[in-house]
């Protein structure tokens, strides 16, 4: 599993103002005036599994520069991941992570711990069509 580098961060403050920031330029261009703070600092670190070299752990750190932590009421983060399975079949999947944190009293720091599972809705057909 690999992180695609595409992230969207949405923040709601106590005045009802929302801002969106993304690593996708086209989204930032649409929302250029909506982000009240400075450019957020986003740090990413993935830890590979020593047995197979695939990503085992993903750490995401977001610093909302220029925003008063006491006014933050909601933070949402969307990120996408690629997953390739090629042992017996060639399967390329894209998955999305969504984190939604309500902070009614504000927040200077939050932690989220979760598990990302890729679920298959339909059986896989063995043929040459990439799905």
The percentage of residues in the chain with a pLDDT greater than 90, rounded to a whole number, is 11
Across 12-16, 50-54, 69-73, least confident range: 50-54
DSSP tag of 2 = E
Closest listed residue to residue 71, CA positions, set 11, 14, 10: 14
For the stretch 81-117, pLDDT in tens is 887 766 666 777 788 889 999 999 988 888 888 777 7
And the tokens for 81? 């991941």
> Rounded distance, CA 32 to CA 22, Å?
10
Any idea what DSSP says for residue 115?
A: -
What's the pTM? 0.74
């Amino acid at each position: 599993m690999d992180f695609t580098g595409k992230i969207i961060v949405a923040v709601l403050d106590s005045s009802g103002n929302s801002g969106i920031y993304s690593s996708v330029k086209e989204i930032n261009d649409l929302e250029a005036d909506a982000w009240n703070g400075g450019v957020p600092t986003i740090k990413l670190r993935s830890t590979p599994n020593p047995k197979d070299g695939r990503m085992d752990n993903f750490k995401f750190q977001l610093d909302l520069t220029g925003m008063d932590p006491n006014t933050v009421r909601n933070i949402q983060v969307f990120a996408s991941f690629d997953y390739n399975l090629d042992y017996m079949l060639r399967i390329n999947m894209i998955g999305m992570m969504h984190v939604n944190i309500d902070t009614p009293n504000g927040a200077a720091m939050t932690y989220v711990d979760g598990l990302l599972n890729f679920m298959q809705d339909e059986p896989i057909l063995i043929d040459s069509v990439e799905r």
